[in-house]
Amino acid sequence: MPAQGEQACGEVGAGRLPEPEEIFSYSQRFLIDLDNLAFVQNFWQSQRVLISAGPTFEDLDPVRFIANRSSGKMGYAIAQAALNLGAQVTLISGPVSLSTPSGVQRIDVRSAQQMFAAVQQQYAQHSIFISAAAVADYRLEQPAEHKMKKQQGQEELTLKLVKNPDIVAWVAQQEDKPFVVGFAAETQNVEAYARDKLQRKNLDMICANQVGAELGFEQSDNALTLITEQCAVALPRSSKEAQALGLLAFIAERELA
């Protein structure tokens, strides 16, 4: 379908070449091996999927904030893959430098509290919630109104942090909860910590991944272990796009079993 806008002839309206990102997004829908994944596509075409992605920024003052190294690539790859398979996708995104997949509804947030509010507003309208965001565990109790200045003779600074809401656990506790998928990014004892999180937060499934060693945050590759109460499947290291497709196929297989 031609894009709308100003054309080379000077007229305004339908007839422009779509942006490269939009052409790529639509072409990706036809590159999936649907002969092998037809049952996966059939499952996802009936789903409304809510995905959180990226980091949250917790302000200390108007200049500084607490954050983490999440690029949002994994969550955005899942959003693109779900869209390619025919799902309706809503993406709640922390601050990232990524383009929105064409056809995905994106809601931008900054802090954990803003992400929590957006998820609370959206979750009941979706059948699956995939919590891929790296939400800050703590925030400053009272951010400074003005830039905090260094004080003469003050060698230390103490900040009082308070817990942020546990978004994925809150969704999993609701009576009308969707199918809830969490993520566990760990540097050690990855599967053990992930299983504890799965049970403690009442999740339907969790994706465990080792961060560091050129995997996870700020990287193009990942290696997820997909865990439910009944089984665990390790996906070999590959692009985050391939990991996303493997994750969605795993969910479809479990739900259709």
Among 233, 207, 232, smallest CA distance to 222 is for 207
Question: Catalytic site residue 207?
Answer: no
State the catalytic residue, choosing from 1, 8, 9, 157.
9
Long-range contacts of residues 251-257, Cβ cutoff 8 Å, at least 24 apart: 251/128, 251/179, 251/181, 251/205, 252/39, 252/40, 252/43, 252/44, 253/40, 254/205, 254/228, 255/43, 255/179, 256/39, 256/43
**Which residue type, as a one-letter code, is found at position 112?**
A
Residue 52's H or E segment, with its range, is: strand 48-53
Q: Are strands 161-163 and 179-186 parallel, antiparallel or unpaired?
A: unpaired
Catalytic residues: 9
